[in-house]
């Protein structure tokens, strides 16, 4: 791969009517798939459009829904993704697609009107290889809305640009992403050895090849978080493990914000150990109370977020927000430490493996 100073190379700009290929991995998404597809096919762009669905081995009605959609609309193409892994599915969908610009779409998301047209204009204006915008998390149930509030808060996911940034410019990574096919082919597509964090790693290779990754806050995508506490914990534990794997592979290229949750886990473990020792009379020094300060400070931070405007309306919203934040941070941090120590290995996000949900109205 060509190595160059990041941001020095201009990505090619294909003709306006060169077409757009949307690619979407699907696994157990019967609750969201129809809306995700509808928002994608409603995008108004010049030239031809196609949507390639990479179907994993779902245990719910996702495959049936996908086949029904494809039978009714020739723009929808289906490919099998028996491995179920997202990067594998994305590469299969990209290989099957035909057009010069690739738009990644999540089956758990909905593209806002005008998203693709704006992204194409931004790619053309900046000569970037990839452009992304803001993830606008939303929810339908009280729990899911609390998770969405945490996603949208700088405290929840560390304040990355695509979780609420307002300044347009070069970025480390991009949420989902609108790519130039030629650049994806040059850098080799998604790394299929990664089950999480594949977007960050791909954008790292794009930047190392000298191209620009661009953040445009005018781009917005609705994202629907996990619907239950157990799914949320499993998702964040797996995500943390794969971030730990990325630290093993790429070290200091990872942002410092990724080290905050594991630091919290370490502080909590130390505080608990000292508290037990104090209760047993093993530790008697008053100075030992200082060990509890980081955890106490975190508790205050959670309370401030939950009780403030970001915590929602009513005591139930605030209680859910207070419960959700540590349910994200602690599993993520524990997974991270595991991933750094032993590698993510075959860690799977099992929150995606549940099927047969009751469809939403």
Same domain, 29 and 117: yes
What dihedral do alpha carbons 73, 76, 82, 87 form, nearest 10°?
-150
Q: Does position 282 have pLDDT exceeding 90, yes or no?
A: yes
Q: Is residue 11 part of a domain?
A: no
What 183-187 contacts at long range (C-beta under 8 Å, 24+ apart), as own/partner pairs, is: 183/11, 183/12, 183/129, 183/130, 183/209, 183/211, 184/94, 184/102, 186/1, 186/2, 187/1
Say whether both 197 and 99 belong to one domain.
yes
Both 288 and 198 in one domain: the answer is no
Is the domain of 201 the same as that of 93? yes
Domain stops at, among 198, 227, 256: 227
Residue 43 near residue 15 (C-beta atoms within 8 A)? no
21 forms bridges with which residues in the sheet?
50, 102
> Are 204 and 259 within one domain?
no
Determine the Cα–Cα distance for residues 42 and 277; give it in Å rounded to an integer.
61
pLDDT tens digits, residue range 133-172? 999 999 888 899 999 999 988 888 766 656 566 789 999 9
- The mean-pLDDT minimum among 73-82, 85-94, 301-310, 331-340 falls in 301-310
56 pLDDT band, cuts 50/70/90, is very high
257 — pLDDT class (breaks 50, 70, 90):
confident
Tell me, what's the pLDDT at 8? 85
For residue 99, being part of any structural domain is answered with yes
Residue at 84 is within a domain: yes
* pLDDT tens track for 3-54: 556 668 999 999 988 999 999 999 999 999 999 999 999 999 989 999 999 9
Render the burial of 321-335: b for 16+ CB within 10 Å, e for the rest: bbebbbbbbbbbbbb
Report the percent of the chain where pLDDT is more than 90: 74
Q: Are residues 199 and 293 in the same domain?
A: no
Number of structural domains found in the chain = 2
Q: Are residues 120 and 31 in the same domain?
A: yes
| Within-domain flag for 132 | yes
**Domain of 171: which CATH number?**
3.90.550.10
* Mean of pLDDT values over 108-122: 95
Angle 42-69-350 (CA atoms, 0-180°, nearest 5)?
95
For residue 349, being part of any structural domain is answered with no
**Angstrom distance (rounded) from CA 115 to CA 87:** 23
134, 117, 118: which is closest to 171 by C-alpha?
134
Structure tokens at 113: 């009107």
For the cut 50, the answer to whether the pLDDT of residue 339 exceeds it is yes
Which residues are bridge partners to 44 per DSSP?
Answer: none
> Is the per-residue pLDDT at 236 higher than 70?
yes
Local confidence band at 253 (pLDDT 50, 70, 90 cut-offs): confident
Q: Are 174 and 26 members of one domain? A: yes
**Do 38 and 156 have their domain in common?**
yes
Query: If you compute the radius of gyration of the chain from its CA atoms, what whole number of angstroms results?
Result: 21
* Domain match, 159 and 253 both: no
Q: Check whether 203 has a pLDDT greater than 80.
A: yes
Residue 237 lies in a domain: no
Contact 90, 25 (CB under 8 A): yes
79 and 140 part of one domain: yes
| 270 and 148 within one domain | no
Average pLDDT over every residue of 228-250: 93
Between 145 and 252, the higher pLDDT residue: 145
Please list, in sequence order, all residues whose beta carbon lies within 8 angstroms of the beta carbon of residue 343, skipping any fewer than 6 positions away.
244, 245, 248
**In contact, 323 and 149? CB cutoff 8 Å:** no
335 close to 239: Cβ distance less than 8 angstroms? yes
Reported as type and span, the H/E element at residue 80 is strand 76-80
278 within domain boundaries: yes
Q: Could you list the residue range(s) of the whole structural domain that residue 260 is in?
A: 247-344
Position 6 scores a pLDDT of 62
> What local confidence, expressed as pLDDT, does residue 181 receive?
96
Angle at 190 between CA 348 and CA 206, to 5 degrees: 130
Q: Is the pLDDT of residue 175 over 60?
A: yes
pLDDT of residue 345: 82
Between vectors from CA 21 to CA 139 and to CA 15, what angle results, nearest 5°?
125
pLDDT of residue 5: 64
* Of 119-133, 153-167, 254-268, 304-318, highest mean pLDDT: 119-133
In this prediction, residue 296 carries a pLDDT of: 96
Q: How far apart are CA 226 and CA 147, in angstroms?
A: 8
* Helical H segments across the chain, by residue range: 33-41, 62-72, 86-96, 115-126, 142-152, 154-157, 181-187, 198-208, 229-250, 260-279, 293-307, 314-342
d(CA 145, CA 340): 31
- Looking at every residue in the chain, the average pLDDT score rounds to 90
Q: According to the model, what pLDDT value does residue 2 have?
A: 46
The pLDDT score that the predictor gives to residue 360 is: 36
Residue 154 lies in a domain: yes
């Amino acid at each position: 791969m060509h190595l160059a100073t990041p941001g020095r190379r201009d990505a090619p700009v294909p003709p306006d009517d060169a077409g757009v290929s949307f690619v979407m991995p699907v696994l157990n998404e019967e609750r969201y798939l129809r809306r995700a597809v509808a928002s994608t096919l409603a995008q108004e762009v010049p030239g031809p459009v196609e949507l390639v669905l990479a179907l994993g081995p779902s245990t719910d009605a996702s495959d049936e829904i996908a086949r029904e959609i494809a039978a009714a609309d020739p723009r929808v193409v289906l490919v099998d993704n028996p491995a179920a892994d997202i990067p594998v599915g994305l590469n299969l969908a990209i290989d099957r697609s035909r057009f010069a610009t690739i738009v990644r779409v999540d089956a758990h998301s909905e593209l806002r009107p005008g998203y693709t047209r704006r992204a194409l204009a931004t790619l053309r204006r900046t000569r970037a290889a990839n452009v992304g915008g803001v993830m606008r998390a939303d929810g339908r149930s009280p729990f899911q809305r609390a998770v969405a509030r945490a996603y949208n808060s700088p405290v929840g996911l560390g304040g990355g640009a695509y979780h609420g940034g307002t300044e347009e410019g070069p970025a480390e990574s991009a949420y989902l992403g609108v790519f130039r096919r030629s650049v994806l082919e040059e850098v080799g597509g998604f790394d299929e050895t990664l089950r999480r964090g594949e977007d960050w790693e791909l954008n790292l290779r794009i930047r190392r090849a000298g191209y620009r990754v661009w953040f445009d806050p005018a781009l917005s995508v609705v994202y629907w978080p996990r619907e239950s506490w157990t799914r949320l914990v499993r998702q964040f534990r797996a995500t943390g493990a794969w971030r730990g794997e990325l630290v093993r592979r790429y070290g200091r290229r990872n942002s410092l914000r990724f080290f905050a949750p594991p630091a919290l886990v370490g502080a909590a473990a130390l505080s608990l150990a000292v508290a037990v020792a104090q209760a047993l009379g093993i530790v008697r020094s008053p100075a030992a109370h200082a060990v509890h300060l980081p955890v106490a400070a975190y508790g205050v931070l959670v309370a401030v977020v939950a009780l403030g405007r970001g915590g929602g309306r009513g005591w139930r919203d605030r209680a859910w927000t207070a419960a959700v934040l540590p349910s994200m941070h602690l599993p993520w941090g524990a997974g991270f430490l595991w991933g750094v120590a032993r590698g993510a290995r075959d860690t799977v996000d099992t929150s995606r493996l549940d099927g047969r949900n009751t469809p939403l109205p």
